[in-house]
Amino acid sequence: MRKKLLLGNWKMNKTPSEAKAFALAANEMVDFAVAHDIEVGVAPTFVCLATVKENINPKCIVAAQNVNEHDHGAFTGEISIPMLKEIGISWVILGHSERREYNGETSEKCNEKIKALLAAGMTPVYCCGESLETYESGQTKKFVAEQIRTGLAGLTPEEAGKVVIAYEPIWAIGTGKSATKETAEDTIGFIRRTLRENFGPVAMDIRILYGGSVKPNNVAEYMSQEDIDGALVGGASLEPNSFQGLIDGMLAK
């Protein structure tokens, strides 16, 4: 049985004091979610991670939005796995389309980071998803399968079972133009079959999230789909009321 997961990606939003205010406001809703078998988490910026970790309900996952694959060294501006571990962070989002577009993050680079995270006993959330052009030319599955195969290359089935996948069509991120539940399920079901071909039965245990303009009023639709295990949410995860609305919507499954 795959546990439902709601993960908020705060992107480059919130100062430390704003992040702390959210953390304090979220304590009861985290308990509520956990009591209803929903795992919840937020991914603040690096500069807010420690503050959020210290102030939020300990049952809430606190994830980083990126990490470097090296433990230390001459990598100006980067953050390492040991640094995250020391402040109690064990989840990291990788390969978000914004990082792929603005920071040149490739599936090959994500593969190195995923391996480093797994070796450190941490949980990668690996994002994949196609552009509007790829979608309109009917190449979504080919494109996403390649991202999955490259990002998870060389993992054992046991390791693959520890990764969370987020399918986020780029044309739906921050645009208000969400994929229909049927479109999302079609691609996510395909991703699960791709995982099965590559890693065997463990694919049935891997959580796959949908992301792209998920809101309190449409999250239930996605959760009603067999292969969709949760949501990676940007804009609607920023305010406590909206976050509570997402949790309420997820109860529907």
Where does this chain bind ligand PEP (CB under 6 A)? 9, 11, 168, 173-174, 211-214, 232-236
What distance in Å separates the CA atoms of residue 121 and residue 91, rounded to the nearest whole number?
A: 10
Q: Which is nearer to ligand PEP, 11 or 192 (CB)?
A: 11
Q: Which is nearer to ligand PEP, 199 or 227 (CB)?
A: 227
What distance in Å separates the CA atoms of residue 19 and residue 113, rounded to the nearest whole number?
A: 26
- Least gap, CB of 74 to ligand PEP (angstroms): 30
> Which secondary structure element, helix H or strand E, spans residue 124, and what is its range?
strand 123-128
Q: Which is nearer to ligand PEP, 73 or 176 (CB)?
A: 176
- Least gap, CB of 208 to ligand PEP (angstroms): 14
Q: Which residue has the tokens 């989002």?
A: 93
Q: Which residues are catalytic?
A: 96, 168
- Least gap, CB of 158 to ligand PEP (angstroms): 27
Q: Which is nearer to ligand PEP, 10 or 199 (CB)?
A: 10
Token pair recorded at residue 71: 């433990």
What distance in Å separates the CA atoms of residue 47 and residue 113, rounded to the nearest whole number?
A: 20
- Least gap, CB of 180 to ligand PEP (angstroms): 15
What distance in Å separates the CA atoms of residue 110 and residue 117, rounded to the nearest whole number?
A: 10
